[in-house]
Amino acid sequence: MVLKSKQTTVAYRCPECGAGVISPVGLFTLSADMVRLKCTCQKSEAEIVYDRANNNVRLSFPCIFCDKPHSYTVNSSLFFSKDLFVLQCPYSDINIGFVGEAEHVKAELARTELELIDMLEENGIADFSGMHGKKEFFSDPQIFDIVMFVIKDLDAEGKIYCKCHPEGREPLPDGAEEDPSSGNYDVEITEDGIKVTCTECGATRTIPTDSALSAHAFLNCDYIRLE
Kindly report, residue by residue over 91-125, the tens digit of the pLDDT.
776 889 999 999 999 999 888 887 777 777 766 66
Entry field: residues in the chain: 227
Query: Each residue of 56-88: pLDDT tens digit?
Result: 899 999 988 777 899 999 998 889 889 999 998
CA distance 209 to 197: 16
Query: Each residue of 149-206: pLDDT tens digit?
Result: 788 888 888 888 888 877 666 554 555 454 443 457 788 877 777 888 888 888 888 8
**Are residues 131 and 140 in contact, defined by beta-carbon separation less than 8 angstroms?**
no
